[in-house]
A and B are shown apart, each in its own frame.
Chain A
Amino acid sequence: MILEALIGFTFLAALATFLSPDEYAGRVGFGLSLLPVVGSLYMWSAFDATGNALLSGGSLAFETQIDWLTVGGYTLQWFVGLDGISLPLIVLSTVLTSLAILSAWTPIDERQSQFYGLMLFMEANLLGVFAALDFFVWFVFWEAVLVPMYFLIGVWGGPRREYAAIKFFVYTNVASLIMFIGFMALVFNLPVDSFGLPAIAQALRGGELSGFLGMGAGTLATVAFAAMFFGFAVKVPVVPVHTWLPDAHVEAPTPASVMLAGVLLKMGTYALLRFNFTMLPDVAATLAVPIAAIAVLSVIYGAMLALAQQDLKRIVAYSSVSSMGYVILGLVAYTEFGIGGATFQMVAHGLISGLMFMAVGVIYNVTHTRMLGDMGGMADRMPVTAGIFVAGAFGYMGLPLMAGFAAEFFIFQGAFASTVLPAAPLFTAAAMFGIVIVAGYLLWAMQRTLFGPFRLETDYEVTRAKFHDTAPLAVLLLCTIALGVAPEAFFGMITDAVVPLLGGGA
């Protein structure tokens, strides 16, 4: 019941924070958010990795399965549980939420109780997304994440916040609808009587799908795969459906950007892994070349777009498109290191992109600008922030002993050895070229903002950031380094969950 307790407590914490007075809301929200952190760390320590894979037929860790209601012959269940793929993302969600709340203390100066309440509400739903194993429960949490983010962008965002919020909402909601229809087309033509993901995955892998409306089972599987892939690809996002992302990021307040890049994008790749690649590996294999092409295009094009930006936050935003492209590449490789590395990259990118967005936020708090052309020599005025920014950028570039390096190394190793993907070395080499561009734009951005003579023209004092602004950065940096030094902390449990997926039929 610990998963239920965790999710339930976070909802109550959200309500309590929403009702608390504005001047205390930040501290109340931060304090309450620490308990989920403790809970998720406890689950990590108590996690039993043996026999917990989705497909092995065994029970998952912390599993609960209670019948909820039966409609039209289908049983809906409250069905949650964790395996080695979801647990790291749960830990990431709780830690990042706490730090994002801390980083909001300085920039958020109106309607605090609502802001922190929404952050915790979003956290509760994110935990639900990663824990749920019944499609309905999962979909409810999945859609419910949109609502707080819509408000976070629309109320506390920048000048074009309404446009960005509505664009975000419409894009991801339409994508969800298409994905929903694709998934339902599968379930209605399977001889299963529940929406439990393990049962559906096993039935699909067992070849029990029948045709519909004159379509053969193979065609239906391909169409459903495409519908689900589109739905999740918008969330990831991959080129060419990424255009909502820069708008949302630039307008969103820093803590919302942190959550958006850190956790929300992972929902897309997590769902791709859970649905498309777990349930329909054969279709994924036949479509491997186009998917890998999309992945490489996202890596290269996202990095090129980042190179062309003048706004520091936009650079970090576009770099997410690039980094998430690596995740898709790892998934489509369909090897132990490929999928494991993709999962690891989800966590690593969550930490590093959170770190980068927070660093940009701290710089913006003191300079009130994000334009590269306006800044220079910030390292003299705020050495700690600058130091962390540089360290984070190195993590992004894949400096060894940082989480980003481990993740990219796993992915490239897995992708290179892929037997599913034709011409795998070629795709891998093309994606690796992305690292060069990443290094290019990050070094260029750092050189123009942090170093050189100080040339910011302001009529106010540019001083060091406050302690509670830099503390979350430091924590994230420590996590990044820890995971880079000891990737085994997560990678072992990830591979335990990944290996059974590779076994073909159930």
Chain B
Amino acid sequence: MATLVSGLVALGPAVLLAATGLLLLIINAVYPTEDRPTLLAAVSTVGSLAALGAAGALLTGAAGVLSGPEDSVALYGEALVVDGMSLFFAAVFASVTALVVVASYDYLADDPHRAEFYSLTLFAATGMALMASANSLAVAFVALELASLPSYALVSFLKGNRGSVEAGLKYFLIGALSSAVFVFGISLVYAATGSLLLPDVAAALTEADEGLAGVAAIGILMIAGGFAFKTASVPFHFWAPEAYEGAPAPISGFLSSASKAAGFALAFRVFVVGFPLAGGDVVASVDWVLLFQILAVVTMTLGNFAAATQETVKRMLAYSSIGHAGYALIGLAAWTGSAGGDVMGAAMAHLLVYGFMNTGAFLFVALAEHWEIGRTFEDYAGLGTRAPMASVAMSVFMFSLAGLPPFGGFFSKYFLFAAAVGAGYWWLAAVGAVNSALSLFYYSRVVKALWFDDPETEFELGATPTALYAAVLFAAVATLLLLPGFGPVIETAQAAAAALIP
């Protein structure tokens, strides 16, 4: 009993997210005909904030289960592990979820399936939180599917909108394919090692005989392919612009920050714990660091160049999100074992900052969609005078995404690149810095449209959607306020990442 209780406490963030999702379904069952938008939104918000609080309490040791980010608790025959890294990512998912559910309140004003929307979002977040905790390849696969299946439904949530349905279908087909690749990779690794638990896989890989090296290597490559899909990395990125553009804008933000971070959480643990580089012959034949170096460089370059040629803001953000996946991949691409904790911790901190600035940017797009002012850069002209605070917030997001000081994005990128230099991969940092400088070009197009250009046609903005507006402003404030609080964030992230090193 005591183990069960402490296990539930340790899994607090995931449990709270799941319970909130279920509670929403119950509320919807009790009031099937009545519309209770405020209640549903409030429950979702409180639930995700509670999960955030639980993650924070566990991470600081206040809950008494863990003593700090270096500590870890293994549950259910070590299939799940709660440690600093999983809690750090749980905090990212919970905060993005809170932003998205608050913002969706206005976005879904006329939608009859609000309860389903909220519960799907929370179930997806539960899956993400479990992804960050998965210590077994089987749990990893189940958690990945738990996060993905609600996402497919959420992307095609606007049933009357052809773009949304089409995006959902594309996302689903490619997702199903990559799940198949992923699970096939797992089966090959299982064949070579006889285990699904990551530490056992690592042990078996160092002892396995040469004959199975090829099998394990193909398995690891296929698993990497599965992650590339979830994190929208090249070459499995084709779905991302379509899905992000077609999906409801808050969901685009949710997918491109939380879902992507979940993919990285899983990849960090599986590769570092499951396939450690230091070891025997089998793993030495699969130099996944080299693989991720290639992926990182190609992903950030391709994402940035594609973003520069887009005509609609949402699509630009979708491609720029691919570029940011490339930056986060540095966390694995500059993995050296000894300095690896610093690099990976910096990548985690970047994903946290990214969670706020990228979600915020998509929420601003949601605001624009709510006002029905069009999708291209030109359509945003003159918004600076009509909605000054939201436009300031959007400018903050754009400058922060471009990595300009004094915003959070500058610091997380700087620490990421500096850590890569510290690990000896200065050329990775250089590619990242050049890409970052290039990205200023297309991010500033949005800022230019908001403040410099005059609108071509006179139009009136509708009523200001309070919750959406508040979420946008909150994300901007968080992007700024992360700056003075960046010390604890990056120290926690690096301690958590360093604790992963076997």
Mark out the residues of chain A between 96 and 140 whose CB falls within 8 Å of any chain B CB in the assembled complex: 111, 114, 139-140
A183 to B422, CA, bound (A): 16
- Known contacts A71-B418, A173-B440: A147-B452 contact under CB 8 Å: no
Residues of B within 8 A of A4 (CB): none
Check if A161 sits within 8 Å of B452, measured CB to CB: yes
- Known contacts A143-B405, A147-B399, A174-B437: A71-B415 contact under CB 8 Å: yes
Residues of B within 8 A of A147 (CB): 399, 404
A6 to B385, CA, bound (A): 29
Residues of B within 8 A of A433 (CB): none
Q: Confirm or deny: B77 has a beta carbon within 8 angstroms of a beta carbon on chain A.
A: no
- Known contacts A144-B405, A147-B399, A147-B404: A70-B491 contact under CB 8 Å: yes
Residues of B within 8 A of A141 (CB): 406
Q: Confirm or deny: A474 has a beta carbon within 8 angstroms of a beta carbon on chain B.
A: no
Q: Confirm or deny: B237 has a beta carbon within 8 angstroms of a beta carbon on chain A.
A: no
Render A151-195 as a binary contact track against B, CB cut-off 8 A, 1 for contact. Answer: 100110000011001100110011001000100100010000000
Mark out the residues of chain B between 415 and 468 whose CB falls within 8 Å of any chain A CB in the assembled complex: 415, 418-419, 421-422, 433, 437, 440, 444, 448, 451-452
Check if B419 sits within 8 Å of A72, measured CB to CB: yes
Residues of B within 8 A of A173 (CB): 404, 437, 440
- Known contacts A69-B486, A70-B491: A144-B451 contact under CB 8 Å: no
Check if A72 sits within 8 Å of B444, measured CB to CB: no
Mark out the residues of chain B between 373 and 425 whose CB falls within 8 Å of any chain A CB in the assembled complex: 384-385, 388, 392, 399, 404-406, 410, 415, 418-419, 421-422
A139 to B491, CA, bound (A): 22
Number of interface residues of B (CB under 8 A): 30
Q: Confirm or deny: A467 has a beta carbon within 8 angstroms of a beta carbon on chain B.
A: no
Q: Confirm or deny: B490 has a beta carbon within 8 angstroms of a beta carbon on chain A.
A: yes
A interface, over-half SS: helix
Check if B406 sits within 8 Å of A69, measured CB to CB: no
Q: Confirm or deny: B342 has a beta carbon within 8 angstroms of a beta carbon on chain A.
A: yes
Residues of B within 8 A of A140 (CB): 405-406, 410
- Known contacts A173-B440, A177-B433: A72-B418 contact under CB 8 Å: yes
Check if A154 sits within 8 Å of B491, measured CB to CB: no
Render B465-502 as a binary contact track against A, CB cut-off 8 A, 1 for contact. Answer: 00000000000000000001011101100100000000
Check if A162 sits within 8 Å of B491, measured CB to CB: no
Check if A68 sits within 8 Å of B487, measured CB to CB: yes
Check if A71 sits within 8 Å of B490, measured CB to CB: yes
Task: Give the tally of cross-chain contacts (CB within 8 A).
Answer: 66
- Known contacts A139-B405, A154-B451: A177-B437 contact under CB 8 Å: yes
Residues of A within 8 A of B490 (CB): 69, 71
Closest to B490 in A: A71
Residues of A within 8 A of B422 (CB): 72
Residues of A within 8 A of B452 (CB): 154-155, 161-162, 165
Check if B448 sits within 8 Å of A154, measured CB to CB: yes
Residues of B within 8 A of A166 (CB): 444, 448
Residues of A within 8 A of B448 (CB): 154, 162, 166
Shortest distance from the beta carbon of B423 to any chain A beta carbon, whole Å: 10
Shortest distance from the beta carbon of A129 to any chain B beta carbon, whole Å: 12
A18 to B421, CA, bound (A): 41
A184 to B384, CA, bound (A): 37
A174 to B486, CA, bound (A): 26
Closest to B414 in A: A136
A170 to B490, CA, bound (A): 30
Residues of B within 8 A of A188 (CB): 421
Closest to B487 in A: A69
A83 to B138, CA, bound (A): 63
Q: Which of B405, B418, B451, B488 has the most CB of A within 10 A?
A: B405
- Known contacts A140-B405, A144-B406, A155-B452: A69-B491 contact under CB 8 Å: yes
Render B355-389 as a binary contact track against A, CB cut-off 8 A, 1 for contact. Answer: 00000000000000000000000000000110010
Shortest distance from the beta carbon of B271 to any chain A beta carbon, whole Å: 22
A72 to B340, CA, bound (A): 11
Residues of A within 8 A of B388 (CB): 18, 114
Q: Which of A18, A114, A161 has the most CB of B within 10 A?
A: A114
Shortest distance from the beta carbon of A325 to any chain B beta carbon, whole Å: 29
Check if B406 sits within 8 Å of A72, measured CB to CB: no
Shortest distance from the beta carbon of A55 to any chain B beta carbon, whole Å: 27
Residues of B within 8 A of A69 (CB): 486-488, 490-491
- Known contacts A114-B388, A147-B399, A166-B444: A70-B487 contact under CB 8 Å: yes
Residues of A within 8 A of B488 (CB): 69
Residues of A within 8 A of B392 (CB): 18
Known: A141-B406, A154-B451. 10 other contacts (CB 8 A): A69-B490, A71-B342, A71-B415, A71-B418, A72-B418, A76-B487, A140-B410, A170-B440, A177-B433, A177-B437
The 6 closest A-B pairs by CB, nearest first: A69-B487, A140-B406, A140-B405, A143-B405, A154-B452, A144-B406
Which residues of A approach B to under 8 Å, CB–CB? 18, 68-72, 76, 111, 114, 139-144, 147, 151, 154-155, 161-162, 165-166, 169-170, 173-174, 177, 181, 184, 188
Which residues of B approach A to under 8 Å, CB–CB? 342, 346, 384-385, 388, 392, 399, 404-406, 410, 415, 418-419, 421-422, 433, 437, 440, 444, 448, 451-452, 484, 486-488, 490-491, 494
Enumerate 7 A-B pairs (CB-CB under 8 Å) in ascending A order.
A68-B484, A69-B491, A114-B384, A142-B405, A173-B404, A181-B433, A188-B421
